[in-house]
A and B are shown apart, each in its own frame.
Chain A
Amino acid sequence: MSAIVNTRCFPLPSSLKVIPGTETAQAAYPYYMQFSKEDDERFWFYNSMHFPEPMSAFDVTTAEAAYCALGAANTRVHSLPTTLGIDYRIINGRIYIGGNAVSDPAEIVRRTKEFQQRAFYYYEHWEELFAQWKNKMLALIRQAEVLPKLAIPEFEPLEHVRAGRGIASNHYLLDIYQKTLEGYFRMWHHHFEFLLLGYGAYLTFFDFCKKAFPEISDQTVARMVAGMEAEIFRPDDELRRLAKRAIELGVDNLFREGAIPTDVIRSMERSEPGRKWLEELAASRDPWFNINVGDGFYHYHRSWNDDLSMPFASLPGYIANVKAGEPIERPIDKLMAERQRLINDYRELLNGEEERAAYDQMIQLTHRVFPYVEGHKFYCEHWYTNLFFNKIREFGALLAEHGFFSNAEDIFQLTHYEVEAAIIDLMTSWSNGSMPRGPARWTPIVNERKAAIAEWSRHETPPALGPVPEIIDDPAIVMLWGITRENLDSWLAAGEKPDSHEIKGFAASSGVVEGIARVVMSVDEIDRLRHGDILVCHVTNPSWAPVFQKIAAAVSDIGGSMSHAAIVAREFGLPAVVGTGTATQRIKDGQRIRVDGGRGVVMILG
């Protein structure tokens, strides 16, 4: 057997070279993220679901914070029996991850005992702990929101002196920075407090359905589980509401395709109904426009609040829908009734009362835990992450003001350690009246790293590295990344026959559509999508929801049928194929493709 297994191997990490000319940029990442020779023994896959583009030196903080928290929850808090945490490496800006499986049976038994008194407690007290979680999370958001503005005035304000504050303003730069960073790391612990347990309960039900109904589609199971009122739907719901209000107030004519948000707002301010609409907009913005045009893992995934062009671009479409008499609100009652019908009808087909009773137990648990799985993203990946990156941006502006950078955004080319160093540099210079050292140091480094990222994004990277494990036994990897043995086999097969016109993935939302592929490699390119295009991207993201009214279908490299994207696609009734592994590499922009969302197949027609 082992001979066969050995032939099933992705390139070894050691064979993957740093692209010439970018070695210094690669070396900037912390040592614990660099591949080493021992890593050749292990299986790694490219986490293109969360990190589809090369990560800048600062943005890898997200990977650090997330894997620290995920690993802690799995390994130390809930004690998942068969897996510890996730290890990660970075090369050419691409984050590869690998699971740490527990294989010793005695150790699994020991961990199982721990798991049952830890995880089971969470399941038993889910509602109360989740309510507590929301409060903790809102408190954390509040803390981040009230962090003081950055200021190092020439003289310490007189009132500080008179109050005997004793601590000068430069110290608060470090204090605020460390609190900002600490808050971000803390937020990720909240993120993972429930996540694996929630997915695990869902996967338990999913697994049962797959055994009872071997041909049931993933999306059907998803439809039996999905809630309808999760926070992640709210931003889009708010847009629909604003479209309706615009018509009611008679200001809808101000929205035209391609109109610039500031122009629209200026026109609004000139009339009473316009000002009324702006009040409605303000109500929607806090907090529902704290949603990123991405997963929130990159500093340039700006929120709707920071960049109104995304929500404004979709308003004309929604307004047209309302005028065409289409119902604008999501038909929640109908969706819930449909969900219940599915649950009942499948139940009826089960083999006997014992199976039905087990099914009832599993779906009940799934419905209890799912509000967390659906709801957490808005608070964590969107709202909090926006606050975090915007605070770092403030530091960027301050440092740019003092000549460290030519642009505030340059700060994201530094690691968080380097940012702290630059801040201390500035603190020192403010304190002693010398010139800071940073301006001479950082500009060339920033430029070099920017060039490296541009270079890296021009190169494809293998979907996986190292020997293919015989079984994928890591519930975290199966749940969060949808990686299965079949997945890997199809990725390998794609490598063997690169000219095949068929691309397979998960059937996420059924329907067959032909159209022009628009390969969107980053959120900046979203505006290239035209009505009727097929979106081809690394990861279909729910906060792109408004885009879904334009496109005819969606195809992604990574993602399972429970990704919010899949849910959004189903809501819009669009075919979607996710988790193809290689769609963005194999489909060329402008090619004609056929998406069969029911079968999970994409055909390149030429």
Chain B
Amino acid sequence: MHSTENVRWFADITLSDRLAVGGKGGSLGESTRAGVAVPAGFVVTTRGFERALAELEKESPIRPRVNELNLHDLKGIRRLSEEVRARIKGAPLPADVCADITAAHAELCDAQPNHPLAVRSSATAEDSDQASFAGLQDTYLWVTGAEAVLKHVRSCWASLYSVPSISYRRKDQVCENGIAIAVVVQKMVDARSAGVMFTRSPLTGDRSVITIESAWGLGSAVVSGEVTPDHFVIGKITGQISVRDISDKRRRDVPAESGGIKQIETPEVLRRAPSISDGEIEALAEIGRKMERHYGKPQDIEWAIDHAGEIFLLQSRPETVWSGKDHAPIAKPAENALQHVMNIFGGRR
């Protein structure tokens, strides 16, 4: 398992490699190195994208034309978007990039060449916060076989020029020259249960609790909000599970035989049963604490547990809602520590 210029395995990636592997790739690498189980995978680096783009730019320029687009010229954006995407999807991959991906795929799927994979965009910008690009580019789930991976890598690249992506960058006047995209190729987890976890309370911002939402099957049902998940709150420091709201989980997402996802009915006995055990809640909280310590700030995590009971971290990114709120210290040290008691005795309430 060795990394090349074009393909980097998670174990060889740190967060400081973000320019080459994008935010998502960087964080998966970082999590792997933090000792948390992440589904195995590699990143097709931005170098591959730059190579392919350079080839296309030779025929006719792309970045300068995007730079010149007016945010309000929707028609122009749409026309250029269609043209560029078609060109990227239609062009063959540079030969060395193609060879590296094919080899890495073979290694990743070793015994099971048709092991389902996720192919995810991981965009990067030289002078901008990676978070601002999150979610704008495409992700493909349940992709099988090397051919399909190659095709979806090109699709991810192309999605950097989707109408919303271009519009977003034009709105912020981001210079196109610093914009690139890496692609994460990663094993899918056939999840027994999956969900999200915040290492603080989304409700109050409390950093001393971890909130977990969980449902049967794949996490897509939780993320999309189609299923009301079970809701758990566990003390980060006390380890006490203080909230256990078990919901009626009528449906669940599972992998379809033909690839992709299908939604099925949950068997009656499972509908109102907790989708994760107390032990799993504790193990998840442990992962949450580890990630928070590793990054030095509260995290927003996607996770899955496979049918063998193994827990995987799918994604960990900084929590943004509460972290974005700058709040003054709740109390400052007083010259005379006794002044603090006036909060109680002084008639504040």
A contacts, CB < 8 Å to B: 80-82, 102, 108, 112, 115, 119-120, 123-124, 197, 200-201, 203-204, 207-208, 211-217, 220, 341-342, 345-346, 349, 351-352, 354-355, 357-362, 364-365, 471-473, 475, 507, 510, 598-599
Are B235 and A200 touching (Cβ within 8 A)? no
Are B337 and A213 touching (Cβ within 8 A)? no
Are A214 and B201 touching (Cβ within 8 A)? yes
Within 8 A of A (CB), among B182-209: 201, 203-209
Q: Residue B321 at the A interface, CB < 8 A?
A: no
Per-residue CB contact flags for chain B residues 337-349 toward chain A (1 = under 8 Å, else 0) read: 1101111111101
The main secondary structure of chain A at its interface with chain B is helix
Within 8 A of A (CB), among B122-170: none
Are A358 and B240 touching (Cβ within 8 A)? no
A42 → B minimal CB distance (Å):
19
Segment of B50-58, B64-72, B326-334 engaged in the interface with chain A: B326-334
Q: How far is the CA of A220 from the CA of B242 in the complex (A)?
A: 12
What class of interface size applies to chain B in its complex with A?
35 or more
Known contacts A203-B344, A217-B242; A355/B208 CB under 8 A: no
Which residue in B236, B240, B243 is a CB contact (below 8 Å) of A349? B236
Are A215 and B233 touching (Cβ within 8 A)? yes
Look across to chain B and name the residue whose beta carbon is closest to the beta carbon of A201.
B341
Measured between beta carbons, the chain B residues less than 8 angstroms from A473 are 347, 349
Known contacts A214-B205, A345-B237; A204/B344 CB under 8 A: yes
Are B333 and A123 touching (Cβ within 8 A)? no
Measured between beta carbons, the chain B residues less than 8 angstroms from A124 are 338
Are A510 and B242 touching (Cβ within 8 A)? yes
Which residue in B204, B242, B337, B342 is a CB contact (below 8 Å) of A599? B242
B203 → A minimal CB distance (Å):
8
Q: Residue B238 at the A interface, CB < 8 A?
A: yes
A485 → B minimal CB distance (Å):
9
Are B208 and A215 touching (Cβ within 8 A)? yes
Q: Residue B62 at the A interface, CB < 8 A?
A: no
Measured between beta carbons, the chain B residues less than 8 angstroms from A220 are 235, 237-238
Look across to chain A and name the residue whose beta carbon is closest to the beta carbon of B347.
A82
Q: How far is the CA of A361 from the CA of B337 in the complex (A)?
A: 6
Are B345 and A115 touching (Cβ within 8 A)? yes
Q: How far is the CA of A372 from the CA of B327 in the complex (A)?
A: 36
Q: Residue B174 at the A interface, CB < 8 A?
A: no
Are B340 and A362 touching (Cβ within 8 A)? yes
Which residue in A112, A204, A213, A598 is a CB contact (below 8 Å) of B207? A213
Are A355 and B242 touching (Cβ within 8 A)? no
Are B349 and A365 touching (Cβ within 8 A)? no
Q: How far is the CA of A213 from the CA of B235 in the complex (A)?
A: 11
Known contacts A80-B345, A346-B237; A216/B330 CB under 8 A: no
Q: Residue B175 at the A interface, CB < 8 A?
A: no
Measured between beta carbons, the chain B residues less than 8 angstroms from A80 are 345
Which residue in B204, B207, B240, B337 is a CB contact (below 8 Å) of A364? B337
Are B209 and A215 touching (Cβ within 8 A)? yes
Q: Residue B98 at the A interface, CB < 8 A?
A: no
A246 → B minimal CB distance (Å):
36
Look across to chain B and name the residue whose beta carbon is closest to the beta carbon of A122.
B338
Measured between beta carbons, the chain B residues less than 8 angstroms from A102 are 347
Q: How far is the CA of A568 from the CA of B211 in the complex (A)?
A: 29
Known contacts A115-B345, A201-B341; A342/B237 CB under 8 A: yes
Measured between beta carbons, the chain B residues less than 8 angstroms from A354 are 329, 331-333
15 other contacts beyond A102-B347, A216-B206, with CB at 8 A cut-off? A81-B347, A112-B346, A200-B341, A211-B331, A214-B204, A214-B205, A216-B208, A342-B237, A354-B332, A358-B333, A358-B340, A359-B331, A362-B340, A365-B340, A475-B345
Known contacts A217-B242, A346-B208, A473-B347; A208/B330 CB under 8 A: yes
Q: Residue B241 at the A interface, CB < 8 A?
A: yes
Q: How far is the CA of A43 from the CA of B111 in the complex (A)?
A: 76
Measured between beta carbons, the chain B residues less than 8 angstroms from A355 are 329-332
Are A358 and B329 touching (Cβ within 8 A)? yes
Measured between beta carbons, the chain A residues less than 8 angstroms from B333 are 354, 357-358, 360-361
B297 → A minimal CB distance (Å):
11
Are B208 and A358 touching (Cβ within 8 A)? no
**12 A-B pairs (CB sep. < 8 Å):** A112-B342, A204-B340, A204-B343, A208-B331, A208-B340, A208-B343, A214-B206, A349-B207, A354-B333, A355-B331, A362-B331, A473-B349
Are A207 and B236 touching (Cβ within 8 A)? no
Q: How far is the CA of A208 from the CA of B203 in the complex (A)?
A: 18
Look across to chain B and name the residue whose beta carbon is closest to the beta carbon of A102.
B347
Q: How far is the CA of A80 from the CA of B345 in the complex (A)?
A: 7
Measured between beta carbons, the chain A residues less than 8 angstroms from B345 are 80-82, 115, 119, 200, 475
Q: How far is the CA of A28 from the CA of B289 in the complex (A)?
A: 64
Q: How far is the CA of A215 from the CA of B343 in the complex (A)?
A: 20
Which of A82, A215, A359 has the most B CB atoms < 10 Å from its CB? A215
Within 8 A of A (CB), among B98-116: none
Per-residue CB contact flags for chain B residues 311-334 toward chain A (1 = under 8 Å, else 0) read: 000000000000000010111111
Q: How far is the CA of A99 from the CA of B243 in the complex (A)?
A: 35
Q: How far is the CA of A556 from the CA of B201 in the complex (A)?
A: 30
Q: How far is the CA of A220 from the CA of B203 in the complex (A)?
A: 20
Are B334 and A358 touching (Cβ within 8 A)? yes
Look across to chain A and name the residue whose beta carbon is closest to the beta carbon of B342.
A112
Q: How far is the CA of A414 from the CA of B345 in the complex (A)?
A: 39
Measured between beta carbons, the chain A residues less than 8 angstroms from B347 are 81-82, 102, 108, 473
Which of B203, B332, B338, B341 has the most A CB atoms < 10 Å from its CB? B341
Look across to chain B and name the residue whose beta carbon is closest to the beta carbon of A599.
B242
Measured between beta carbons, the chain A residues less than 8 angstroms from B235 are 216-217, 220
Q: How far is the CA of A364 from the CA of B243 in the complex (A)?
A: 31
Are B349 and A120 touching (Cβ within 8 A)? no
Measured between beta carbons, the chain B residues less than 8 angstroms from A598 are 240-242
B24 → A minimal CB distance (Å):
27
Which residue in B330, B332, B343 is a CB contact (below 8 Å) of A212? B330
Q: How far is the CA of A349 from the CA of B327 in the complex (A)?
A: 14
Measured between beta carbons, the chain A residues less than 8 angstroms from B242 are 215, 217, 507, 510, 598-599
Within 8 A of A (CB), among B223-245: 233, 235-238, 240-243
Per-residue CB contact flags for chain B residues 27-39 toward chain A (1 = under 8 Å, else 0) read: 0000000000000
Q: How far is the CA of A357 from the CA of B343 in the complex (A)?
A: 16
A111 → B minimal CB distance (Å):
9
B198 → A minimal CB distance (Å):
12
Look across to chain B and name the residue whose beta carbon is closest to the beta carbon of A79.
B345
Are A215 and B330 touching (Cβ within 8 A)? no
Measured between beta carbons, the chain B residues less than 8 angstroms from A351 are 327, 329-330
Measured between beta carbons, the chain B residues less than 8 angstroms from A204 are 340-341, 343-344
Look across to chain B and name the residue whose beta carbon is closest to the beta carbon of A360.
B333
Q: How far is the CA of A361 from the CA of B342 in the complex (A)?
A: 14
Q: How far is the CA of A349 from the CA of B206 in the complex (A)?
A: 9
A595 → B minimal CB distance (Å):
15
A151 → B minimal CB distance (Å):
50
Measured between beta carbons, the chain B residues less than 8 angstroms from A208 are 330-331, 340, 343
Are A81 and B338 touching (Cβ within 8 A)? no
Which residue in A211, A365, A472 is a CB contact (below 8 Å) of B337? A365
Are B341 and A352 touching (Cβ within 8 A)? no
Are B340 and A213 touching (Cβ within 8 A)? no
Q: How far is the CA of A201 from the CA of B238 in the complex (A)?
A: 24
Which of B238, B332, B334 has the most A CB atoms < 10 Å from its CB? B238
Q: How far is the CA of A215 from the CA of B237 in the complex (A)?
A: 12
Measured between beta carbons, the chain A residues less than 8 angstroms from B243 are 599
Q: How far is the CA of A405 from the CA of B337 in the complex (A)?
A: 58
Look across to chain A and name the residue whose beta carbon is closest to the beta carbon of B206.
A215
Are A81 and B330 touching (Cβ within 8 A)? no
Which residue in A215, A472, A507 is a CB contact (below 8 Å) of B204? A215
Measured between beta carbons, the chain A residues less than 8 angstroms from B241 are 598
Measured between beta carbons, the chain B residues less than 8 angstroms from A212 are 330
Q: How far is the CA of A171 from the CA of B330 in the complex (A)?
A: 63
Measured between beta carbons, the chain A residues less than 8 angstroms from B236 are 345, 349
Which residue in A112, A345, A352, A510 is a CB contact (below 8 Å) of B240? A510
Which of B233, B236, B327, B329 has the most A CB atoms < 10 Å from its CB? B329
Are B341 and A119 touching (Cβ within 8 A)? yes
